[in-house]
Amino acid sequence: MKLIAQNKKSQYNYFFELKIEVGIVLTGSEIKSIRNNGINIDNSYIAIQGYDVLLYHSHIKEYFFSSKFNHSPERIRNLLLHKKEIRNLSGKVNVKGYSLIPISVYFNNKNLVKVEIGLAKGKKLFDKRNIIKQRDWEREQNKLFKEKMRKENE
State pLDDT tens for residues 47-89: 999 889 999 998 888 877 776 667 777 789 899 999 999 998 8
Q: What is the pTM of this model?
A: 0.75
Interatomic CA distance for residues 32 and 127, integer angstroms: 40
In this structure, what is the dihedral angle of CA atoms 105, 86, 48, 13, given to the nearest 10 degrees? -50
Separation of alpha carbons 96 and 50, rounded Å = 19
Contacts of 29 (CB under 8 A, 6+ apart): 62, 63, 66, 70, 71
C-beta separation of 63 from 73 below 8 A: no
In terms of CATH architecture, what is 2-123? Beta Barrel (2.40)
Task: Tell me what the pLDDT averaged over the chain comes to.
Answer: 86
Tens of pLDDT along 86-95? Answer: 998 888 888 8
Contact 119, 24 (CB under 8 A): no
Asked whether 114 and 81 are in contact (CB, 8 A), the reply is: no
